[in-house]
Amino acid sequence: MRDRLHYLFLNVGHFLDHLLMLIFATVAALALTREWGMGYGALIAYATPGFVAFGAFAIPAGWAADRWGREAMMTLFFIGCGVSSTAVALATTPVQIGTALFFVGVFAAIYHPVGIALVLEGHAKTGMRIAINGVWGNMGVAVAALLTGLLIDSGSWRTAFVLPGLICALIGVAYGWLIWRTAGNTEGVSAANKTTRTVVVEPVFDRSVFIRVLGVILFTTALGGLVFQSTTFALPKVLAERVSDVDTTATLIGWLAFLAFAVGSVGQLVVGHFVDRASPRIAFMIVATLQVLFFALMISATGWWAAVVAAGFMFAAFGQIPINDVLVGRVARSEWRSRILAIRYTVTISVMASSVPFIAWVHAHHGFGTLFGILSVTAACVLLAVLTLPHLEEPVATVTTPAE
């Protein structure tokens, strides 16, 4: 029971992590351009400090988790993110909002190297666990656009930061209480677990295979950071422009973005199911090919067709996410996973941070058609890298034996 509740907290944490990091994307696109009289490109530049922190603090977070405990760092994640998000709502100038978003990024950086390591910990089949956890993260992305759109039309953008911030801090208190309450407590452990123990066999590969797979992981992670940021951060603005021939409101744009992200979540589940039963290499090839196709179609798509294509590329973009994490689980021993995941997410989020000004520049000078052309080429490079992956058998097995 404790393990299931802990997994639920980890999933909720992933949901809040992405929600809090992307509220500003919708606020900037649909509210602050009017309220503060600034252009979209100039305004989203103030999100950069938050995304820099989101990447830069991942490695320190992974190190701290190995030193002080992953559960303690997750408690800090919840409470720190909640307080920082609430502080964003107090901003009255772009510099203030950029500063507050920086602190959101600092605490949000804890989740991926620490939370994902906890999701992987002690389990043989990790594909669906990662996929389900990823769906929660995706829904945080989706709800950020939907919730913020609803609040802009019904009240104020500030509430979009305060409400989830307070909820996040309260969940942190509850999580800390769970960890303290159940520390060393074996109550609730099933009878089967009391009479048996599970031995987890760690992955063993030769050095060349490990280096090759790690190289592919980091390369595709970097390009995936550009794809993820461009699709999630810019999607509300993309839909606002491309569906402009329809009578749109902030709420409608929020719903369209939500539906696109929901379809993306399905893609993550499909891929997670697939990689538990077949080669991650094959799944990766299919996902990368779909990205090339849908990004190319989006170059000129308009109207409702643009909304449909957006759902297609979100399916493919989000489908890539669990594959890299599963690959880490396949080739890295447990004690190294937090640090390798920290490096992976530092690469991802560093690219994501630099992508914000890149998106602003491309949009201002060439428009979103050029951006999607670049993303199609990026996806083609991912596909070429994936072709170099070896076939990896499932390296983690469980052996159930009588407990001593």
Using CA atoms, how far residue 275 sits from 142, 269, 321, in Å, is 24, 10, 12
For residue 399, the cross-strand partners are 199
Written as one letter, the residue type at 52 is V
Prediction pTM value: 0.67
CATH of domain 2-391: 1.20.1250.20
- In one-letter notation, the amino acid at residue 353 is A
Cα separation of 63 and 57, whole Å? 10
Instruction: For helices 48-56 and 2-27, give the axis angle rounded to 10 degrees.
Output: 150
Tell me how far CA of residue 170 lies from CA of 125, 262, 396, in angstroms: 32, 26, 36
In the three-class reduction of DSSP (H, G, I as helix; E, B as strand; rest coil), residue 337 is classed as: helix
Full pLDDT tens readout for the chain, 404 residues: 677 888 999 999 999 999 999 888 878 777 787 788 887 777 878 888 888 888 788 888 888 887 788 888 999 999 999 999 999 989 888 899 999 999 999 999 999 888 888 887 765 566 678 778 888 887 887 788 788 878 777 778 888 898 889 999 999 999 999 888 876 554 433 333 344 344 444 555 567 777 888 888 889 888 888 888 788 778 888 888 888 666 667 778 878 888 888 888 888 888 878 877 777 888 889 999 999 999 999 998 888 888 899 999 989 988 887 787 778 777 666 656 667 777 777 787 678 777 778 888 888 888 889 999 999 999 999 999 999 887 665 544 444 444 44
Domain ranges (residues) in the chain:
2-391
Computed from CA positions of residues 34, 374, 325, 314, in that sequence, does the dihedral angle turn out positive or negative? positive
CA distance 279 to 390: 10
- What is the DSSP-derived secondary structure letter of residue 90? T
Identify the CA nearest to 233 among candidates 89, 24, 55.
Answer: 24
Give, in order, the Cα–Cα distances in Å from 355 to each of 46, 243, 273.
Answer: 13, 24, 30
Lookup: tokens for 15: 């949901």
What is the C-alpha separation between 308 and 305, in angstroms, rounded? 5
CA distance 294 to 308: 10
Q: Which amino acid is at 69?
A: G
* Residue 61 falls in which region: left (phi positive, over 0), alpha (psi -120 to 50) or beta: alpha
Judge whether 167 and 19 are in contact, CB under 8 Å: no
- CA 307 to CA 294: how far, in whole Å? 12
